[in-house]
Amino acid sequence: MLSWVSKILRMKFLSLLGLLSVALVAGVLVSPSLTPSQAQQPAPSNPAATSPAATPTPGRVAGSAASPFGTQTPQGGLNIVVLDPAHGGTDPGARGTGGIRESEIVLDFAVQVRRALELQGFQVVQTRQGNENPSFDDRSATANAQRGAVFVTLHISSTGLPGTARVYVNSDLPPVANAGGLIPWDRAQAPFLGLSKAFGDLVQGFLAQRFKGSPDTAQSASVRQLRTTAAPAIAVEVSSVTVEDRADLDRMAPGVADAIARGTAAFKPSYVVPSTPGALP
Amino acid sequence: MTPSWKYWLIGGLAVAVLAAAIYFPILRRRVKRAARLQQQSEEQARRELTQPIPINPSDPRVKAKVFWVSDAIDSTLAPVTVELPLSNDPALRSKQVLNTLLAGPVDAELRTLPPDASLLAFYLLPDGTAIADFSEALATSIPSGIVSEQLAVNSITRTLEANVPQVQRLKILIHGQEVETLAGHLDLAGTFVVNTKVAQEPAKPTPTPSGTDKPASPAAAAKARAAVPGTLTATRAPGKLAQAESRP
């Protein structure tokens, strides 16, 4: 009788040991997807799962589709595009004689640019969704909080040959003194200037194909918005609010969107993103 | 009351009415003039206080190069030669060429700066840094946009570069104040490199005005190449962003 009891107890002990080892193996398999960097970042999404109908809030990744079990592996490289429709709120930007306001048109452009980028598999974060006017620093902060992001700010000019589009990268900035690995906020763009130029040239190349009279390469200018952005960053300016009919500008939106999406996709393989947001490239 | 007293009273009143009829129009004119003086803005008063720029006819007439918008190539600048009596004093000479730039070309379409903008003050420091203080109209009347704002600043820096070699860097103020942007796009926080041949590296952020129509200097290009890794890979040690200190 006692021998039967001891056998049953031994079997229970062995089964418990087995269950414990299975749990340990499962824990080891699951743990790599919970790194500290991921815990601080928006979870990388599966591009296929990105929903164009998703309406993210500013500063959050559109269409994120993280697994509830945390088993999704992070995708390396460039994944996120921070899209900045310039101006907004009390700042209408450039104004045309026919009542055209830059702040409204760039928001409409952003919808099409976003759709084109999502078709290329990128996540899109917008600095504003409606008629708000975040500060320059707030817009840069949205980009600087992302890992593996590029920044595109959209503008409509007051002058220039209508029907053309120009890409700008920030002018030369003094080299960053890397004291303790910190980048000064007001020169955050400095280490990224080379990357921004490469990115800008690609987008400008596609724009030049679509819009005759546009330059072949990106121009440099002291654009305030770009200076504090710690990512490859460009400004795209479409000419201009002086068109008689707003439809002339609306017709340019698909071409601009396509050029930005194709330029970003072409830039992706050449950009190895830093391990932490805002880190030096 | 005697009749003679009545005559004196009527006569006195008649004289008073006559005097008032003469004096009231004069008084009205004085009140109107005083009202006009009160309407003058602070900026107009400041402009009156600024010293007029003396043009000395005995100064040598030189062919100055002034940069306005090119009528041949879209959104670029082109030099126009203007014969002017220019002072040998660099600060005075800078004022003279900038006022010529502000006056604009014959074809108003080729202007780079608004017609109602004016130069309020100009200083030149011993290290070659110039400070140009423009009226508020430069920021409020300029067409908003990267290209138009860049053309405005480039026309100022290139006109100074062509005519006043002593000016190496330029800081632009609007009505005596440091502003973040010219009209929402172009960064005015730093100084602009004017003389690309001899300009030394300043301590503050230095947005250069190099752009569509002004190639960066070889030295600046070399510096940029040195600052940016040749390969587009993470070859440097990762770092964190510092929080904003000087600006919110």
The tokens of A264 are what? 């970003």
In total, chain A counts a number of residues equal to 281
Q: Give the rounded percent of residues in chain B with a pLDDT score beyond 90.
A: 58
> What's the CA dihedral at B56, B57, B63, B68 to 10 degrees?
60
Supply the mean pLDDT for chain B: 79
Mean pLDDT, residues B228-232 taken together: 35
- For residue A188, the model assigns a pLDDT of 92
Closest CB to B241 among A93, A174, A183: A183
Check B186 against A195: CB less than 8 A apart: no
A9-23, B18-32, B153-167: which has the highest mean pLDDT? B153-167
- For residue A266, the model assigns a pLDDT of 97
Residue B78, sorted as left (phi over 0), alpha (psi -120 to 50) or beta, turns out to be beta
**Domain-embedded: residue B156:** yes
Of the pLDDT bands very low, low, confident and very high (cuts 50, 70, 90), residue A237 is: very high
Residue pairs between chains A and B whose CB atoms are closer than 8 Å:
192
Mean pLDDT, residues B36-40 taken together: 61
Check B206 against A172: CB less than 8 A apart: yes
SS3 B132: strand
ipTM of the complex model: 0.72
Of the pLDDT bands very low, low, confident and very high (cuts 50, 70, 90), residue A210 is: very high
B145 CB-near residues (< 8 Å, 6+ apart): A94, A155, A156, A157, A158, A159, A160, A237, A240, B183, B185
Mean pLDDT, residues B231-238 taken together: 33
| Phi, then psi, of B42 in degrees rounded to 5 | -60, -35
Closest CB to A274 among B207, B234, B243: B234
Check A158 against B144: CB less than 8 A apart: yes
Does B226 score more than 60 pLDDT?
A: no
**Domain-embedded: residue B243:** no
pLDDT in tens, B78-93: 999 999 999 999 999 9
For chain A, how far is it from start to end, CA to CA, in angstroms? 73
- For residue A223, the model assigns a pLDDT of 97
Give A178's contacts in chain B (Cβ within 8 Å). Answer: 236-237, 239
- For residue A154, the model assigns a pLDDT of 98
Does A43 score more than 90 pLDDT?
A: no
Does A234 score more than 50 pLDDT?
A: yes
Of the pLDDT bands very low, low, confident and very high (cuts 50, 70, 90), residue A277 is: low
The tokens of B88 are what? 């040998």
Work out the minimum CA distance from B110 to partner chain A, whole angstroms.
12
B36 touching chain A per CB within 8 A: no
Q: Give the rounded percent of residues in chain A with a pLDDT score beyond 90.
A: 57
**Domain-embedded: residue B149:** yes
- Please, where are the H alpha helices in B40-66? 42-49
Check A224 against B189: CB less than 8 A apart: yes
Which pTM value belongs to this model?
0.69
Domain boundaries, chain A: 2-26, 42-270
Q: Are strands A165-170 and A233-238 parallel, antiparallel or unpaired?
A: antiparallel
**Domain-embedded: residue B197:** yes
Which of A105, A224, A227, A275 is the best residue to mutate to test the B interface, defined by the most B CB atoms within 10 Å of its own CB? Answer: A224
Check A278 against B241: CB less than 8 A apart: yes
Residue with the larger pLDDT of the pair A278 and A43: A278
Amino acid at the residue A40: Q
Of the pLDDT bands very low, low, confident and very high (cuts 50, 70, 90), residue A98 is: confident
- For residue A7, the model assigns a pLDDT of 59
Work out the minimum CA distance from A46 to partner chain B, whole angstroms.
24
Mean pLDDT, residues B163-181 taken together: 96
Which of B144, B151, B231 is the best residue to mutate to test the A interface, defined by the most A CB atoms within 10 Å of its own CB? Answer: B144
The tokens of B153 are what? 């600043």
**Domain-embedded: residue B161:** yes
Mean pLDDT, residues B53-65 taken together: 79
Give the A window 212-241 contacts with B, CB below 8 Å. Answer: 213, 215, 219-225, 227-228, 230, 235, 237, 239-240
Of the pLDDT bands very low, low, confident and very high (cuts 50, 70, 90), residue B196 is: confident
- For residue A1, the model assigns a pLDDT of 47
Check A182 against B234: CB less than 8 A apart: no
**Domain-embedded: residue B50:** no
CB B145 within 8 A of CB B130: no
Does B248 score more than 60 pLDDT?
A: no
Check B207 against A222: CB less than 8 A apart: yes
Closest CB to B240 among A172, A227, A278: A278
Of the pLDDT bands very low, low, confident and very high (cuts 50, 70, 90), residue A217 is: very high
Domains identified in chain B, total number: 1
**Concatenated DSSP letters for A191-255?**
GGHHHHHHHHHHHHHHHHHHSTTS-SS-EEE-BHHHHT--S-EEEEEE--TT-SSHHHHHTTHHH
A191 touching chain B per CB within 8 A: yes
Q: How far, in Å, are A79, A270, B89 from residue A68 at the CA level? A: 20, 32, 73
Mean pLDDT, residues B27-41 taken together: 74
Q: What is the CATH topology of the domain spanning A42-270?
A: Aminopeptidase (3.40.630)
Does A216 score more than 90 pLDDT?
A: yes
> What are the b/e assignments for B164-198, b being 16+ CB within 10 Å?
bebbbbbbbbbbeeebebbbbbbbbbbbbbbbbee
Check A235 against B233: CB less than 8 A apart: no
Which domain covers residue B165, as residue numbers?
A: 61-210
